[in-house]
Each structure stands twice: as C-alpha cells, then as structure tokens.
Amino acid sequence: MDKDKFRSTYEVLNNLHSDFIMAYPNYTSGKNKEVRKTAERKVESAITLTKLNIERNPDVSRLFAESKFGEPYAYDEFYQPRYFGRDMSEFLRIIKEKLESEDF
C-alpha cells in the first residue's frame, strides 16, 4: 500500500471513530428507547465498518496485528462498544505515527 492509500484509510477510520463518539452517549444513556436504538445502530455500524476497513487493508491489518490489539483478548475487547472509543483513539495514534515516520 502506498502512503496515499494508507492516509486515505486513516481518514476513513478517523471518520468512523468520530461517528462512534457522537453516537455512544445516546447508546448508553439516551432519553428513550427509540433514541438508544438509533444510537445502537450507529455504534454497531461504525464498529463493523472499522473492522472491515482494517481487515481489508493488508498494511493496516498488519499494523493492528503487531500492536497490543492483535493479542487474542485485546482483539475481542477492541470491537466491544465499551472499549472501542478508547482503543480506537490509540490505534489511530499508532497509524498517524506510522504515517509521519521516515520508514513508511
């Protein structure tokens, strides 16, 4: 993967993370069932699309596997809504550092 495609994947993942962050408060404490259900769909969609984008891009997938999130216990937790926001922020930081490094 060239640097432009890697950067493009980073932007997609960053946007999905933003979508998740916006929906998560309503997912956990929306004022009624309808609000929570709508937020749940958005949260699940962001997580599913993130997983697909990571798995579909070999370089990003390799970076994921080499990070602490590649460990079996961490892999499962990464895609749970409870941990996704925090862990995805960290993974985006790892991707950004890779993009800014000399050895890309």
Number of compact structural domains in the chain: 1
Q: Tell me the pLDDT band of 86, cut-offs 50, 70 and 90.
A: very high
pTM: 0.92
End-to-end CA distance of the chain: 10
Find the helix packing angle between 81-100 and 33-56, rounded to 10°.
40
Write down the residue that tokens 């990464």 correspond to: 78
Q: What is the mean pLDDT of residues 13-19?
A: 98
Domain hosting 39: range is 3-100
Position 31 pLDDT exceeds 90:
yes
What tens digit of pLDDT does each residue of 40-85 get?
999 999 999 999 999 999 999 999 999 998 888 788 899 999 999 9
